[in-house]
Chain A
Amino acid sequence: MALLGAITHQTLGAWASAGVRRGSFFGRFRSVSSASFANAVIALYVISTLLGGIIYLYFRVDIRPELERAGHWHFLGFFDLKEHFSAIGLALLPAYWVFWQRPRADEAAQTRIALTSILAFIVWWNFLTGHVANNILGFGS
């Protein structure tokens, strides 16, 4: 939840136009330094992925066979995407850190925004897929 909040705030802050009115909702978003979220996002992402990697062992043995028996094939596809996206996101963290901590003048701001948006998408995808995984065996019962 902390990761979701941090990356969402940072992404919206990065996307918000610099000309936004002070005191408005997005103006207050921008008043918080987005760069200050970077280290927290990285730490939380790494911790979440490590914990997810441990839980995944139990998921594979205890949960997935039940989902296969119940024919939740689409969900298993979404879950595969979750693991693929998690790995790619993890590898993007060093570049993400560089772009937020020491951006160079000749590097486009759009690159930083895009990188942050990709990470935000991955975090939200993983959260929603994990949430559905947690509840799916209760669906229709």
Chain B
Amino acid sequence: MTSFDWFRRFAFTFGPTFAVLYVIAVAKDLALFTVFPSLGIVLAGTHHTGDVADAAMGFLAPAMYWYGWAATAALGALMIGLVVASLPVCSARYVWSGWVWVIPAFAMVACVYLTLPWFRL
């Protein structure tokens, strides 16, 4: 197996896996870290504004989870991608290459679903 074959399998695994893990991270609020930009601090794990300041002061210390969600998904996808890329070549022969776009497309639809509460306000 050449290094390009290895990278091909890693790339084909990383994208869809990231998409699935990202949706799970958003749905379950699993941020690897939380950023409080106005306070200039980053805390490991998911923290809501009420954890670091009075909840009523949320507008002064807004929490940002996007970076943490992306980091959670990237870390998980990286590990799974490395494992899959190291498997024997024959195990990947029958996997349909279309999954590389079908799964992310469904993940995007799931993101739309998770965003629907904004449109009900």
Contact = CB atoms under 8 A, between A and B. Distances in A.
Interface of B: 4, 7-8, 10-12, 14-15, 18-19, 22, 26, 35, 37-38, 59, 62, 64, 66-67, 69-70, 73-74, 77, 97-98, 100-102, 104-105, 107-108, 111-112, 114-119, 121
Contacts of B18: 87-88, 91
What secondary structure prevails in chain A residues at the interface with B? helix
Contacts of B102: 114
A57 B42 CA distance: 12
A88 B98 contact: no
A76 B118 contact: yes
Contacts of A46: none
Interface stretch (A15-23, A32-40, A94-102): A94-102
B101 A80 contact: no
Interface residues of A, number: 38
A120 to B, nearest CB: 12
A65 B61 CA distance: 11
A33 B67 CA distance: 35
Contact of B15 (A65, A73, A92, A108): A92
A31 interface: no
Nearest to B116: A77
A83 B105 CA distance: 15
